[in-house]
Amino acid sequence: MGSAFRPFELLWKRRLTPSASLLRFAVPDGLPLGGHGRTAPTGVKVQLPGTELEKSYSPVSLPAQAGSFDLLVRAYPPRQGGGMGAYLCALQPGQTALMKVKPESFSHLGGLPLARGRWDQLGLVACGTGLAPLLQVANEALSWNQGTRVSLVLACRDEEEILMRQELEEMAGPFFSLHIQLSRPAASWPAEQRGRITPETLQQRLPAPDSNCFILVCGTDGFVSTVAGPVERIQLDGKKRKVQGPLGGFLAKLGYSADKVHKF
């Protein structure tokens, strides 16, 4: 499905922070997406023009969004083997980027182990643009209207770097709780949300290990390792692919079991 790269048109973009933007792309006519009510992809891979560099992105919009999808992209400073974020953020509406649809992962569209109604609570732990796949999961779980409670713990450097802040704050309600932890906060930032995430932070904000819950973690390799143990990489078909690796870090210390945790 969607094995060939093809042009996707940028419809609009919105600057979120000095280094990050929200980009909306149109779904090309005839793009194969399969069933389950999908009208947009759950994941895409982008190719940097003139290179072999490819990078995967998870839309923050729902797969049922009609005819388009939204990407949360950060433009990192130029570096060897990088530059995709800067390329995408520099696009203007009407221009195109080469993309292809990725196969679905378990975390989308209520697939196992996130089948609709299976868990009473979802705990999400993210830093930076690691928010993207977890925000899609949160939005979909809330759209089920089956009483699933979602708790998000988001780590950022400072207020300026909080991605999708308005959208997240508007989601707050009986079934969605938000905790933002800042490592370099302003003096006015609440005391209990200052500093780096600790085991105590997660213990207070996530569903208890012995509850009917599932925890998802996404961010830099270092962040994921600290929270849930390292993600391992195996060489397969000439490419390094992520595998879960053993559960460790804060979540293991707090008593969560490996079958209730997924590391992106």
The whole-angstrom separation of Cα 262 and Cα 255 is 15
Residue 160: exposed, middle, or buried by beta-carbon count in 10 A (0-12, 13-18, 19+)? middle
Q: Where are the domains of the chain?
A: 6-101, 121-263
Q: ω into residue 28 within 30 of 0, thus cis?
A: no
- Output the six-digit token pair for 71: 């990407």
Matching fold, domains 6-101 and 121-263: no
Q: What is the pLDDT, as a whole number, of residue 104? A: 65
6-101 is classed in which CATH architecture?
Beta Barrel (2.40)
Q: What is the pLDDT, as a whole number, of residue 43? A: 85
User: Could you tell me which CATH number the domain at 121-263 has?
Assistant: 3.40.50.80
**The model's pTM:** 0.87
Contacts of 206 (CB under 8 A, 6+ apart): 123, 125, 151, 153, 213, 215
Q: Which residues are annotated as part of the binding site?
A: 57, 72, 84
Q: Which residues are annotated as part of the binding site for FAD?
A: 57, 72, 84
Q: CB of 73 within 8 A of CB of 16?
A: no
Q: What is the pLDDT, as a whole number, of residue 140? A: 85
Helices (H), 95-236: 131-143, 165-171, 199-205, 221-228
pLDDT tens digit at each of 264 positions of the chain: 447 899 999 999 999 988 899 999 999 887 766 555 556 787 899 999 988 889 999 899 887 788 899 999 998 766 665 689 999 999 999 999 999 988 765 444 445 567 777 899 999 999 999 999 899 889 888 988 788 999 999 999 999 999 999 999 999 999 999 999 999 999 999 999 999 999 999 999 999 999 999 999 999 999 999 999 998 877 666 566 777 889 999 999 999 999 999 998
Q: What is the pLDDT, as a whole number, of residue 108? A: 47
Q: CB of 44 within 8 A of CB of 33?
A: no
Q: DSSP 3-state assignment of 159?
A: helix
